[in-house]
Amino acid sequence: MAVNSRKIAVYVLVVFVLYVIITDPAKAADYVQIGFEGISDAANALGDFATWVANGGDS
C-alpha cells in the first residue's frame, strides 16, 4: 500500500510541475531559479562550516 501511495504522490507532483510549466513558463523559471539559489546558499553555508571546523572552531 505504501508503494502505491508513493507512486501516486510522485505522479501528482509530476502533473503539477508540468501544469505550471505549460501554463506559466516564466513563473516556472522563477521557481527553478529560487531552488538553485537555495541550493547555492546551503552549499556556501556548508563550506563556511567546514572552514570553521578546519580552523579549530575559533570564532
Give the pTM: 0.62
- The mean pLDDT value for 37-53 works out to 96
Q: What's the rounded Cα separation, in Å, for the pair 59 and 23?
A: 49
Report helix, strand or coil for 39: helix
Q: What's the rounded Cα separation, in Å, for the pair 43 and 47?
A: 6
Report helix, strand or coil for 7: helix
pLDDT, tens digit (0-9, with 9 covering 90-100), for 18-31: 998 899 999 889 98
Q: What's the rounded Cα separation, in Å, for the pair 50 and 43?
A: 10
Q: What's the rounded Cα separation, in Å, for the pair 16 and 24?
A: 12
**Residue reference for cell 522563477:** 30
